[in-house]
Structure 1
Amino acid sequence: MTAPRTPGRDVAVARGRRPGRSVGDDRESAILATAERLLQRRPFGEISVDELARGAGISRPTFYFYFPSKDAVLLTLLDRVTEEADAAACNVLDRLAEDPRSRWRELIARFHDTFGAHRAVVLACAEVRATNAEVRRLWARVLERWVQAVEAAVVAERRRGAAPDGLPARDLAIALNSMNERVWYATFAGDGPAIDERDVVDVLLELWLTCIYRTTDPARVG
């Protein structure tokens, strides 16, 4: 589920890394792995730069060669998770006409699997978003990509006669993506009331189908 991305320099700035550094650098990868591991045990606010450096086997001054702050580490983790989600979604929406119910389920399940595999990062970003403008801006850009992709898919389904006209496609896409975001947060965080993780994909699917097609069994058209 992809839309045009901001190339080159903007991506580097969004991640907080110094432009031109290799994402495959072993030390940078070690810092990121340390951060994700620590986030599985403690809130982001309790993690220090010293811990990140020590976990990566480097000194504090060396850490700053790779990242200007620990916030930049979190931004990079978020950027990588969302890129992974985009890669997982790939061309699923291009294949909706094959079987709308199966393709929408595939899309939701792939996002669920990606976010679930990196839930510590997802939860940390959700928690700091209110106070961290960079995280908020990056997430807004990501969400806009997904909104545009779903909006285009809904418009295409309406044009081929598979989905009825209704709410503006963009408004519907915003609402559905926002619903997923909140439902997943509650499920991953145990922030009740929350849907059991075993059921969350199917619950979201039924809601998406009902909102887009006004039925949970959309006809195969075209």
Structure 2
Amino acid sequence: MTTETTTPVRRRGGPTKGDQREAQILEAARGLLSDRSVNDLTVDAIAKAAGVSRTAFYFYFPTKHAVVAAMLDGLWEEFGTTHAWLASTGPAPADLREHHRQTAAVWQEHREILTCTMGPVGYEPLVEWVEKARARYDQALAAKIRRDRAAGLATDGIDADALADMVSDLRTARFRVMARLTGAELEKGLDELTEVVLRMVYGSAPQA
């Protein structure tokens, strides 16, 4: 009779030194972006802030834009969790405002990173992320507009895709502003954005 023995798989108990070093670089870049644009960000500045050599930086990231792209990766799911209103039926003003509140919270937490996506971007993975994030929202909103128009809940008019694109432009501009607002100013901004979107899509601003 043969007795088979197995060697237990050794599990990593926590972050490796490499994981910690990569996290240092990401955190350093985040801090630097609080007072400069991505165009003014340099590998040397990131490495110095992270306490690593330039050579060590390149072991983890090929470019400064790759660092920004890595920071954006985690935001895909965060934005996805704010999209419940897009699957709703009709105006649902309270749900739309909550959608805006949650989105504004993501912008406030990650303002430095998201601001990098607002201007000309030359790093292809970053361009792709911005385009995918925009397309996901625009397509879902256009689908909602078509559903609600078919049900007689939204006014006909501008092509649904074009209207969704206009709403997206407005939202992006307003969230960039609201990312720096707090208290009553933020609440007012959320109310105003919600009313404008309702008027654009439904022709009026129904009360909750």
Q: What is the rounded CA distance, in whole Å, between the counterparts of 1:65 and 1:39 in structure 2?
A: 21
* Count of residues in correspondence between the two structures: 189
Identical-pair percentage: 28
What residue ranges of structure 1 are gaps of 5+ in the alignment?
1-21, 191-195
2:12 corresponds to: none
Question: TM-score by structure 1 length?
Answer: 0.73
Q: What is the rounded CA distance, in whole Å, between the counterparts of 1:211 and 1:218 in structure 2?
A: 15
2:162 corresponds to: 171
Equivalent residue for 1:150, pick from 126, 141, 148: 141
2:198 corresponds to: 209
Question: TM-score by structure 2 length?
Answer: 0.77
Structure of higher CA gyration radius:
2
Q: Aligned-pair RMSD on alpha carbons?
A: 2.8
Contact 1:209 1:215 in 2 (8 A): yes
- The letter of the residue matching 2:160 is A
- The letter of the residue matching 2:151 is R
Q: What is the rounded CA distance, in whole Å, between the counterparts of 2:89 and 2:54 in structure 1?
A: 50
Q: What displacement does 1:59 show?
A: 2.7
1:116 corresponds to: 108
Which stretch shifts more, 210-219 or 30-39? 210-219
Equivalent residue for 2:63, pick from 63, 69, 75: 69
SS at match of 1:125: coil
SS at match of 2:174: helix
**Deviation digits for residues 167-203 of structure 1, max 9, x if unmatched?**
221111111001111233345579xxxxx54422111
| 2:129 is the counterpart of 1:138 | yes
SS at match of 2:204: coil
What residue ranges of structure 2 are gaps of 5+ in the alignment?
1-15
2:118 corresponds to: 126
Alignment of 1:17-32 (within 5 A): 25-32=19-26
Q: What displacement does 1:145 show?
A: 0.9
